[in-house]
Amino acid sequence: VEAIEKAGELDNTLFVFTSDHGDCLGDHGLVYKFSSHYDAVARVPLVFAGPGVSTIGERDQLVELIDLGPTLLDLAGLGPLDGASGISIRPLLEGEDTELHETVFSEHGPRIMARTREWKLIFYPGEPYGELYNLTRDPDELRNLYDNPESESARRNMVERTLHWMGTTRQESL
């Protein structure tokens, strides 16, 4: 930052801090990073500072790292790349209080995570099992409700969202 400031480019520089994943650090009895889609691994910081960023402080929004490219292009005054996935989160950086994603997705190996504010599904394609957590009642993801009859509607809804996402982003999977 000091070198950028000395060069007189501080007002023309956008700083972005993020990570590709977190670590369990003992959560759920796990100490590695790629073993799960628990929030300890899947929720990572995404911090912007610089021109075009007016929001100060923490925002709890559902965004995906695939949104980073479109956001950087948008902040640079460029249009999106043809065929690229993700959306610009510029409205959030400019202070708008809007939900850009109702559901976010992540995948590792065959597992796919779908997450809304209330629910998280960890989907194992082709398998009769999965994981479903009510994040409102169980933010630490300790009670798997996948086979709970009372959660059947939520499970069906989250599986439908996941299959739709797979069908629109992973054509070779079908």
Q: Which pLDDT value is given to residue 129?
A: 95
The pTM of this model reads: 0.81
Residue 82 has a pLDDT of 86
- List CB contacts of 39: < 8 A, sequence separation 6 or more: 120, 135, 139, 141
- The model's confidence at residue 173, banded by pLDDT at 50, 70 and 90, is very low
What per-residue string of b and e applies to 155-168 under the rule 16 or more CB within 10 Å gives b? beebbebbbebbee
Q: What is the pLDDT of residues 30-76, one digit of tens each?
A: 666 556 677 666 777 788 888 878 866 667 788 888 999 999 999 98
φ and ψ at 49, to 5 degrees? Answer: -150, 140
pLDDT of residue 9: 92
pLDDT at 36: 67
Predicted local distance difference test score (pLDDT) of residue 169? 79
Of 102, 133, 137, 101, the C-alpha closest to 119 is 133
HSE at residue 110, side-chain half, CA atoms within 13 A, is 6
Q: pLDDT value at position 153?
A: 98
Which pLDDT band, with edges at 50, 70 and 90, does 19 fall under? confident
Are 44 and 20 spatial neighbours (Cβ–Cβ below 8 Å)? yes
Give the pLDDT band (50/70/90) at residue 174: very low
Q: Which residue has the higher pLDDT, 136 or 96?
A: 136
Phi-psi region of 21 (alpha: psi -120 to 50; beta: other; left: phi over 0): beta
